Amino acid sequence: MVAVTEVHIKDGMFNAYINDLNNVWRKFIEEQMKDGSVVSYGMFANASAREGEPDLYLTVSYANWAAFDLGEEYFNKIRDNVMGSAETMRSAGIKRGELRTIGSSYNLQEVKFRD
């Protein structure tokens, strides 16, 4: 299962947003990779974005749907390891809002042929 997030980055903020992703999002994902709930992740720039299209696509490949059922304690532990506290995370989220707007988010389920 792959989760996709479309990101519209505010003018002149691309590098700042990528730096934010490197310091927070990447660390959250890599913590989840340690227990196998996340298999991989990626960032894809839309080099020729037309009006209204996202500038960046973020993808996270999950091992299975159970990764969404890990609970609040699991994610709070990761938050504390990465950010230190809920307040630090809240402040970072407010600052991140100055860099981008989230468009659509959706999940894709791979379909395979069977012999």
| Domains in the chain: ranges and CATH | 2-108 (3.30.70.100)
Each residue's pLDDT tens digit, 42-78: 999 999 889 999 999 999 999 988 888 888 888 888 8
Per-residue pLDDT at 20: 92
pLDDT band at 88 (very low <50, low <70, confident <90, very high): confident
Name the pLDDT band for 34 (thresholds 50, 70, 90): very high
Q: Is beta strand 38-45 parallel, antiparallel or unpaired with respect to 56-62? A: antiparallel
- The pTM for the full model equals 0.86
pLDDT tens-digit readout, 15-26: 999 999 998 899
Neighbours of 41 (CB within 10 A): 20
